[in-house]
Structure 1
């Protein structure tokens, strides 16, 4: 089996799927890329059993067909060192010996039988659903929510993004019990109601490849697996099993106090003041009076403190509420609006952060639980 391929093109595709490969693989074959050559098309696969990514290259010059697993680490490290040039792969399918021939040299490696590589799971036709959405819609949904997912071994459902499909909209939800993000798209709908929980790792892989793609993505899923088919990539992953908590129940509905403030100024002030917060709690206090917010932090152990005043639109009663600075900074960093709305009811209940101006067909809400203020 022989084929010629561009070194940089092959590297680009292998790097995109290499993030799937786990350092703690239980099967040695999973430390390899699967190369499948047929009809001048080279299909490349990487897997860790939970997640599989597939991409393909059209070749101008190939001879024969076959399937072989090649070691990922040595292949990637070698390709990174090559300048752009054609590479001639000459593969002996009896011994799995591989010669990579360049204009000036030859590099020899040994592969493994591709038949030992795990096969892709199959969707259960009776339980499967599918939809087609714009790639930028899925990209926005993942970008807006991925930062709010948890790392909770006891509650694995919290470690992914809930994707809810309905005749009204598509909703993406993530929460780590401290913060919650709900991002709705009104320009995507389905004839049915369904949901699945996309784990953090495949969500991160999609976040990496979606910007390289354009057009539509086909999403197919059943109760165990999901398939994301893009123009140049395919991602297959095992879904998180279990029921996502009823997130709407924790979103406070009646919030009489509303603050409108410049997001960038608020974010920058928070970044400066939070340096002076207690390292264990990261507590920052927001004190609201008419037309003004004072952001303050202190660390009594080191006798340091800071406060900074910000002008804002606020007409309610005087109020003070505490938040964990890192979580608040995460939320402000992931809202794109020039101004943000902070909705509050009292210092013991969650604060709601909203963009002052939503994008077209977007409905975005972020929630943050407060911290107790020791007066």
Structure 2
């Protein structure tokens, strides 16, 4: 089996799907790319068993065939080759792969394609289309709030609920929650799924920045994302997602509006002086003034700043984890944000003041109980 392909074109396609390959895979063959040639079309697959990434490109080939090629050594070779046509010659009895270029010849030891795991069929699937811009925004606005706790697998992914009027993405780690809703995407399937964080990270890094259409097929166990020449197959998380709607407080009598960048800058400075375990900062709102303070009693460090804000409601003092607030504010693009509070022991809501007419973003953060220092 032999084929000719541009070194830079092949490198671009391999780099797009390489992220799925892990350093210590369950099966040694998963350190390889699967190459399949049919009628001058090269299909390349990478997998970690839970997720498959597939890409296609046209090559110059007279015969069909398949082989698996070591991913790391192939990528390193192509990265260090100047742009040129390269010829791959595969010995189908020993699975030796020889790459010929203007610079020289390189031999790799491949393996039989028969041993490479097959991607699962997605039968009885629902289908929904959305733009790469919408899907990218949904991932960026939620993925940071997913949990790393493998004992609560449902929280390690993003919950997606499809309705006939909107699509909702939700992520939570038990300390914070993000709900991102779009009204320009809908499906009458009424289905909900949980997409693993790794698959979403792979999507995030490969989604095109222009407004490319992304086709999503899913059933109760698997989902497929298709765009341009790339396909991502992933196993869904088969767990019950927490009842997030009941966690969101409805009667928030305290509303504070403030410049996002001013608040973010202040929190970054004050958090330097917070306790390194709790990252606790104290927000004290009195009238149109917000006082942010923190102290680390172990090292006698303390800091406080005052900011001007717009405030409706009674004076309130509440503690939060500064890391969570900073991360949330970093993931909002609005110039102004609203902080909605009800009581010092109830969750606070962060809502952007300006947003796209098709989207609705709500971020919830649980409070940290304050020590009684003055």
Q: Name the TM-score class by shorter chain.
A: over 0.9
- Cα offsets for 1:307-345 (capped at 9, x unmatched): 111110013222110000000101100111000000000
Q: Is the 8 A contact 2:132 2:209 kept in 1?
A: no
- Return 9-18 or 174-183, whichever deviates more: 9-18
Partner of 2:21: 21
Q: 1:131 aligns with which of 118, 128, 132?
A: 128
Q: Take 1:44 and 1:57, find their aligned partners in 2: how far apart are those partners? A: 9
Q: Take 1:338 and 1:84, find their aligned partners in 2: how far apart are those partners? A: 44
Partner of 1:294: 291
SS at match of 2:127: strand
Partner of 1:315: 312
Partner of 1:191: 188
Cα RMSD, aligned residues only: 1.1
Q: Take 2:122 and 2:53, find their aligned partners in 1: how far apart are those partners? A: 16
Q: Is the 8 A contact 2:195 2:237 kept in 1?
A: yes
SS at match of 2:354: coil
Q: TM-score of the superposition, structure 2-length normalised?
A: 0.97
- The CA deviation at 1:114 is 0.7
Partner of 2:96: 97
Matched, 1:232 2:229: yes
Equivalent positions of 1:164-179 (< 5 A) are 164-179=161-176
SS at match of 2:265: helix
- Unaligned runs of 5+ residues in structure 1 are none
Equivalent positions of 1:1-375 (< 5 A) are 1-59=1-59, 61-125=60-124, 128-211=125-208, 214-375=211-372
- The CA deviation at 1:6 is 1.5
Q: Is the 8 A contact 1:178 1:368 kept in 2?
A: yes
Q: Is the 8 A contact 1:55 1:233 kept in 2?
A: yes
Q: Take 1:345 and 1:70, find their aligned partners in 2: how far apart are those partners? A: 59
Number of aligned positions between the proteins: 372
- The CA deviation at 1:368 is 0.2
Q: Take 2:246 and 2:296, find their aligned partners in 1: how far apart are those partners? A: 35
- The CA deviation at 1:24 is 2.1
Q: Take 1:332 and 1:116, find their aligned partners in 2: how far apart are those partners? A: 47
- Return 174-183 or 220-229, whichever deviates more: 220-229
Runs of 4+ deviating beyond 4 Å = none
